[in-house]
Amino acid sequence: MTSARARILGAVLAVACVGLVVVGGITFWIQRDRVLANTDTQLRGFAATLVAQRLDSQSAVVDAVESIVPGRTDDTLALRGETVVATAPPVGIDLSGDAALVRTLASAPIEDVRYGQVSGDLGTIRYVAIPIQGLVVVHAVSLDARMELVTLGVGTYAVAGAVMLVAIAIVGWFVAGRLFSPIRELRATADAISIGDLGARLPPAGTDEIDGLTRTVNSMLDRIETSVDVQRQLLDDVRHELKTPITIVRGHLETMDTTDPDEVAATREIGIAELDRMTRLVDDIDLLATVEGGGFEMGVVDVDALTTRVGDLVSVIPGHRWSVEARGYGRIDGDYDRLLQAWLQLADNAVKYTPEGSGIEIGSALDDSGARLWVRDHGPGIPPAARHRIFRRFDRADGRRTVGGSGLGLAIVDAIAKGHDGHCAVTDTPGGGATFTIHLPPGVGRASADLPAPVRAGDVVQQREASG
């Protein structure tokens, strides 16, 4: 199979060759036409000059012919039939020795000025024949001699063109090789990449389109490596999380006394509880995959209405005093259901770590820096060293905040925030506790009074019921 390098070089050489041939051909025909035009002009001028002399005798005609000084490529003679009566000095070509020309002129009577062309012993001859006083004066030009310079020029051009094609081939071969070098490196890198080693990268060089391709491929490899690492970590975490309930169920089943109804019932309850926990874990994993996969329906969300909705939902959670600390007024672009889900997840997280009977505050704010949605608890707080990892999958803060759960709740919140080009942050609550905040950037949040009315999940249900 012919390489792309050879095909491109062949195409370039073919175009260059066609171009040289076309230019050479056009140049040759232009020069040839110019030579023919100059020859015809010379012949017409000679005939007009000779006729204007009004020679009155054959001797005068002979004297006139012998007095002409011919050029290098022409000659003049006087004929009577096939007999040469007079010739010009032998400076240029010798027409008297061209028997074909003499026979052609003598073959038919010439009664007026005649122009013609004949191929004879001296090559192609272009002539003018003028009858005067019983003689025929012939002035002829050798086209082959006149075309020598043109032919020599074309030959020189052909040699120079061939040399140029060779030079183009040599230079083009190395230039094409240089241009295709990143492609070869890309192919070698792609061959070297495997699921076990995704660290190979292309070295960047230059600022042209090929280098742009190199950067794009490297970026793609970075994303693939990150995705594979995340999947590996997820599989490791899932395996770790499922190992415990499986071990518990298996251990109780192996040690269960099948003859004791009470022990069978207790083991059954333990097994169902562990299976329920695994079901919740699988549901959370599915939800996290959906969120990270970009399952958002963006629309206009009223921050104040969202705050009210969250306040209404959390107010029925027993064991804590709930309050709305602040409200943001304005509208943002976002997925209402996902933002509601993330905010409620933070509230659920606060319930787990806040002593029963204590207060939990929620709030929102919206300004030029963006939108902020927060939940503030008064539990044990989160150590600063653990804050960078609490939003990871299956990761929990250590110390007093270690409780049950799948460990995916905050990871889901973080994924929803990132899906809105935002992020999550944890700060200390004055007096003790932790404040979880969802930050949405200015590009998403925007305070405005003239935006269209927000659409919420409950509103959509009501509209469907009304139209049904």
Q: How confident is the model at residue 2 (pLDDT cuts 50, 70, 90)?
A: low
Q: What is the mean pLDDT of the chain?
A: 80
Determine what percent of the chain is predicted with pLDDT higher than 90.
15
pLDDT band at 459 (very low <50, low <70, confident <90, very high): very low
250 and 304, same domain (yes or no): no
Task: Tell which of 131, 149, 167 closes a domain.
Answer: 149
Instruction: Flag whether pLDDT at 461 surpasses 50.
Output: no
State how far the Cα of 264 lies from the Cα of 272, in Å rounded to an integer: 12
**Same-domain pairing of 233 and 108:** no
Distance (Å, whole) CA 13 – CA 165 = 7
| 236 located within any domain | yes
Domain assignment present for 158: no
Q: Domain total for the chain? A: 3
Domain of residue 276: give its range: 209-292
Helix (H) or strand (E) holding 315, with range, is none
- Assess contact for 371 and 391: CB atoms under 8 A: no
What is the three-class DSSP state of 308? helix
Tell whether 322 and 452 lie within a shared domain: yes
Phi and psi at residue 98, to the nearest 5° = -95, 90
- If pLDDT is split at 50, 70 and 90, which confidence band does 363 have? very high
* pLDDT for the residue 463: 27
pTM of the model: 0.49
Q: Rounded to whole angstroms, what are the CA distances from 34 to 12, 149, 150, 176? A: 33, 12, 10, 42
Q: Are residues 432 and 304 in the same domain?
A: yes
Rounded mean pLDDT of 327-335? 88
Check which CATH number belongs to the domain holding 312 and give it: 3.30.565.10
Check whether residue 370 and residue 238 sit in a common domain: no
Give 103-149 as a DSSP string. HHHHSS---S-EEEEEEETTEEEEEEEEEETTEEEEEEEEHHHHTHH
Q: Which of 198-202, 262-266, 382-386, 402-406 has the lowest mean pLDDT?
A: 402-406
The verdict on 140 and 45 lying in the same domain is yes
Report residue 278's pLDDT band, with 50, 70 and 90 as the boundaries. confident
> Is the Cβ–Cβ distance between 152 and 31 less than 8 Å?
no
The SS3 call for residue 401 is helix
Where does a domain end: 264, 292, 320? 292
Considering the domain architecture, whether residues 303 and 255 belong to the same structural domain is answered as no
Residue pLDDT, tens place only, 393-432: 666 554 444 444 556 778 888 888 888 888 898 988 888 8
HSE on the CB side for 463, CA within 13 Å?
6
Does 34 lie in the same domain as 99? yes
374 in Cβ contact with 438 (< 8 Å): yes
Residue 347: inside a domain, yes or no? yes
Assess whether 380 and 352 both reside in one domain. yes
**pLDDT at site 405:** 52
Q: Which DSSP letter does residue 194 get?
A: B
As a whole number of angstroms, the distance between CA 373 and CA 343 comes to: 7
Same domain flag for 272 and 246: yes
In-domain check, residue 396: yes
Give the per-residue pLDDT at 295.
Answer: 65
* Type of residue found at 18: V
306 lies in the same domain as 455: yes
Q: What is the pLDDT of residues 141-195, one digit of tens each?
A: 888 888 888 888 888 999 999 999 999 999 988 888 877 777 777 777 777 777 7
What pLDDT is stored for residue 188 in this prediction?
79
Lowest-confidence segment of 57-66, 149-158, 220-229 by average pLDDT: 220-229
Confidence of residue 310 (pLDDT cuts 50, 70, 90): very high
Place of tokens 């902020």: 372
The CA distance from 15 to 256, in Å, is 87
197 in any annotated domain: no
Statement to judge: residues 287 and 303 lie in one domain: no
**Rounded to 5, what percent of the chain is helix, strand, coil?**
55, 20, 30
Residue 434 lies in a domain: yes
Domain membership flag for residue 15: yes
Q: Which of 2-6, 19-23, 401-405 has the highest mean pLDDT?
A: 19-23
pLDDT, position 88: 85
Point out the domain boundary residue: 256, 276, 292: 292
Residue 112 is predicted with a pLDDT of 84
Which CATH number covers residue 78?
3.40.1840.10
pLDDT of residue 456 exceeding 70: no
The answer to whether the Cα torsion of 376, 379, 385, 387 is positive or negative is negative
- Across the range 100-127, mean pLDDT stands at 80
Residue 201 counted as domain residue: no
pLDDT over 60 at 285, yes or no: yes
**Per-residue pLDDT averaged across 13-19, rounded?**
92
